[in-house]
Every structure is written in C-alpha cells, then in structure tokens.
Amino acid sequence: MSVDFNLEELMIIESARHIRDGEMVFVGTGIPMVAAMFAQKTHAPNLCFVVETGPISPQVLPVPISVSDPKAMYRAAKLGTLREVLGCLLQRGMVDLGFLGGAQIDQFGNINSTVLGDYQHPKVRFPGSGGANDIASLAKRILVITPHEKRRFPEHCFYLTSPGYIDGPDGREKAGLKMTQPELTVVTDLTVMSIDKTKGKLQVVKLMPGITLEQVRENTGFKVGAASVVSTVELPTTEELNILRRDVDPEREYLGRGKD
C-alpha cells in the first residue's frame, strides 16, 4: 500500500530510529527536537530528553517552537540551567546521543556554524557554536540532520566550529578529546552517512528511496565513499506518520505540508 509522506517526515523518522530506549539525548531547537519527541512517543518511551536551555526529562507537549518555549518544560524532572546540562551532564560523559546541525559538514564530519569565507571578512556570519562544540566533543554518539546540498558538504569547512574526526582517524585523540572515536551519523534528504572509523571520513551507508549513489556524489563537495553494503532507508508506516503528524507536530511547524 502506498503511503504519502514528505522528505522532512522521512528524515525525522529515520533520525529517530538511531535513538535507543533509556538513553540520554541532548537536543536543540528544530528538527532534532521533533525526532527525539517522535522516538519518545514510539519505540523509546524511557529516553531522557535533555533540552540545551536546561529542562531535563520533560513530558513534551506538541513540538516547541524554540528551546525556551514553555512546552519544552512541561512536567520536567528538573528545570535546570545551561551549567547543569552542559557541565553536570554532558561534561561528565552522561549524554548518549547529541543532535547537531550546521551550515557546512566536511568529509571528516567537522561542522561549521560560524562563518562562510574568511573569518575576519566573512561573506556570511552565523550564530556560532552555542552548545554545539560541547556536544560534538563530549557526546558518545553524534547525529547531524541537514538538507543535502553540494555547498553544505565541502571537502574542508571554512571554519571548524564543532569537531568531527578533525583530520583523520586519530584527529580527536591528537586534539585531546576524551571521546576519541564516537559514532557520527549524518541524515539528509538523499542519504545516511556514517564515519568509517578506520579512515575518519564519512561514507554512504543508506540511500533514501529512489535515490542513487551517483546522485549523492553529484550533490557532495568531496569524494564520498560507500560501505560494502548500502541499504535503502525503510519507508515510514501509516502509524508512524499518524503519530508524527497528530501528536508531535500537529501544527506542521517543521514537517512542511503535503508530499514532496
């Protein structure tokens, strides 16, 4: 039976599949929050949902529009602070999975959310790190959600805001990071990529339905390899889409409208 869905919905559901029940998951505004909420309402009811502004384990109402929205604080186990979530939880190594995004992601999984062009005279200046560097440096697993465009995936980032594998398999260890080889996954509207730890570089492990490896390579600014077996992302079920649309984002704040 055919099920209508759009690419935002499939990216969210695929991202949520990387969350395991009982984990501590660190999220910010936007699609990462939607994915974590969806996981909590489906296969991971016991996850500990941590919002970067401080709420710890809230029972989130329909998706907040920002990390400061009171909906992200509903019945939280603790209304903490930035110090508590970034320091007491993240820096103690307690966060299992951290969600990230950025303007650029390079072949090593490094993220730029600071500038495009020369740092002193940039073409575009972005908000910068926030807690992203902390998450990338200290979470056990890193999950990036982003649209797939060639300009977003350069060979090297203009600026390294948040570390992936920096420059190779031992880049993080040389930089003195405690999490030397975390799992790092990137979910886009074309593919799912993960770090090959032996090379410290991203490789294609899954393709979105109807997408070819050639299309991914045409839309990536670096030479991206592929795993020995590349599978296709599983289609969402009617039940999953109903939960996502009815319970998580009924106002379609993030999902878009209609089928792509």
CA dist., res. 140 & res. 221, Å (int): 27
> How far apart, in whole angstroms, are the C-alpha atoms of residue 83 and residue 52?
10
CA distances to 1, 30, 41, 238 from 146, rounded to whole Å, are: 29, 11, 23, 24
Give the C-alpha separation, 203 to 119, whole Å: 29
Write down the catalytic residue from 52, 155, 239, 253.
52
CA-atom Rg of the chain in angstroms: 18
Which is it for the CA torsion 8, 155, 175, 171, positive or negative? positive
| 52 classed as catalytic | yes
Active site amino acids:
52
